[in-house]
Structure 1
Amino acid sequence: MNEVDRHARTDRTASATEPSEERETERYDANGRCDPSEASTTGRIGEPGAASDALDVAIVGGGICGLTTALALERRGIEPTVYEAASEYRPVGAGISLQPNAMLVFDRLGIAASIRSAGVALDRVTIRSSSGRTLQRFDVAGVERDAFGVGFVAIHRGDLLRILRDALDTRVETDMPCATVSSTEPPVARFEDGTTVRPDVLLGADGIDSVVRDAVVDGVGRRPLPTVAYRAVVPVTLPAQARTAGCEIWGQGTYTGGAPIDDDRFYWFATAPDSLVPVDADPATRLAALRDRHAAAPEPIPTVLDALEPDDVIRSALADLPTLERWHRDRVALAGDAAHAMCPFAGQGAAQGIEDALVLADTLATGDDTESALAAYERERKPRADRARAESRRLGSLATIESRAGATARNLLAAMVPTRLVDRMRRRRVANASLPGD
């Protein structure tokens, strides 16, 4: 399921983010199943005596990855401070589809039930052609939820951030954009208001344009794509059978879809070549072009687009990061989009940052010293996240093919992939999630 994460540079018209194909070691049985009780509840962090001596940890970035990292650290007895650039948290933005590996982490942290209550637990996700032909159908209830006890949950980003903040005791300092990190040993960060902090550990969860990253690997920046993403949360009433179903539509240079995020709101997304409408086009012109481009898409896309208002649409120029040489230097480390910003097409951008959070907390709480702990974190997380980023880029190339022959061939091949193989790949992704203690 698609997501468009914090790594996209965003122009809002609404109020207000290649490594080798190494096989992962399989962690499920010969039947491709995992004991749900073990997958979703064992190894919860935060047990008495789990934490090491208290560390002074500063987290730059208070988005999904930063707040999840703070919560995971709290569960291990470490009380960090979060520094967020925005002046306040507001319920703006679009939706997000949390895949099962992300939900397993949230289960460990004790907030999975709250997330399911605030969002929609999807029963199925269907990929179709623009003519309506089914290319693949993901039976989420019968595969991930049956095997692991968790499935896909679609939720508004603002609701997810609120749940994370409500679960935290940690202080979140807002209106604190980081200006520079002048030293990694010891860590020294200076903020734009002149504040300087010298924590034991500095974690950069500050997105694709990370300031902290410059202290770890110099001169690495975003790789723009010739593709623009459009997103919106749309008030709409769907038929009963569509209220727990996500969708993707693969057309000729046309990629769109979404999922319900509550009883009467739908998270919609689409991508288009950056030449579709000028960047400075007015909102009404932009929406008219999108409606025209997706007029032939199967339902619920036409209904959703008809319900849109011009100012609802968020436009984001897509980009990712190249593979980084390293994720940490001395006592400074990167997480989330700062380390592995990826295209949205595999739906793993936020999920991989959420996995980062759990591993960071575990290694810092159990490591002999901070530098070896951060090295262990990088060894565990970097190969998996790099593979996810490469997969996302490949899927993006496939999903946005503009030639008629290429799009037709892609759809024929997608429909030919056996369901058993697709299910196995889905189980492997969840089973190989970075869950310390498994």
Structure 2
Amino acid sequence: MRRVDAIHRAIQHVYEATLAPENWPNAVASVAEAGGAHRAILHAAVADGPSLAVSSGFRMDDVARLQQEIENRLPAWVEAIPVGTALRQTSAITDTDFERSELYNEAVRPAGGYYGIVAPLVRGPECRVLLTLARNAGAADFSPEDLRAATVISPHVVTALKVWRRIADSEGRASWTYEAIARLNLGVVFLNAKMHPVLANPRAEALAAARDGLLLDARKLSAIRPSDAAKLGDAISAVSRFADASRSPSESATAAFSARNCTIHRAPPRRPLIARVIPIGLPYSFSLGIATARTIVFIMEPDRPAVIDTSLLTSAFGLTPREAALAVALVQGSDLQETAKELNIGVGTARSYLKRILSKTDTHRQAELVSVLLRGSFHPLVDEKGTYNDVGKKTGSYRVGGFSLATSVS
């Protein structure tokens, strides 16, 4: 009964390690105990990253030597073991031949070991995983009961590693999603099926913190004016039904047209905010790394000055630095005389610049020029120094599943 308990405990620890990777050493130690081993090592090598070795009972230099042997000259008898099969080394190689092998003399003997159980868990061009249980030199060989324990546990280690990799990939996608929306030049709020916020970017936080029209907390996204709050709530409710993962093809076809717009008034002379509510299907929320999100709300500020990168204008349209500076000033609302004064040039020179700008951008009127430059003026919220424009601070971590606005860090 003690062996059964040890096996169950090892399997439990293996699956716990998928959620808390720092517990893998404890899991490997439990596997060693269940298999009647003094020590164990779980070695994983992937094609697109560094190898991983989690061990119990080995010194660091012992692990390094074993890694080198496994990665550079794995014995043929180990390669011949079928994937998913746990095998005692004495079933594959005699003691005499083992004592003559490089694996024994370069790694096993210096570590003070001898008999082992070897289980190739994954073998392929992208990933190789090997589990080895070992006994100290002078100890008896593993028993059939030890081998059965290793055989029972091995598939669970494979499953746990797959889950661990998927979680890591998902977290990677989520981190890229957070980084992307944190840099957007407009407010972004993700809502779950209950229409509660699960994620907000720094710009949305800043708009809510101003207490000028927008309301945002852990329970709701709303507006200060009751009439605006009602319209925003209706828009979110109407759009949320299109986020159903099981929607029919006809509903999927109309989902693109299901977005709703509404205004959120601010104190004069500020122009109202524009909220655009869009559904997110379940597959897309998972691909974004925000599994609970069903609706996304973009919050735009019509009166916010456009931020245009002059270097982009020079590369995209061939404008000179002075022409680019003039174009940016016009987009930001200055007239030609004001711009000429700011640039310390005459009005005639400014008109000459404008003619060349119109020619290079293939536009014919100043209004058309401004429209073209605004359409191409998307600029991330983060400037070159890594600070958030109009926010004044960088942000820390986000949390998915429970509402967590960005936390400030120095």
TM-score (norm 1): 0.21
Which has more radius of gyration?
A: 2
Q: Which has the higher contact order (CA 8 A, sep 6+)?
A: 1
TM-score (norm 2): 0.22
Higher strand share goes to which structure? 1
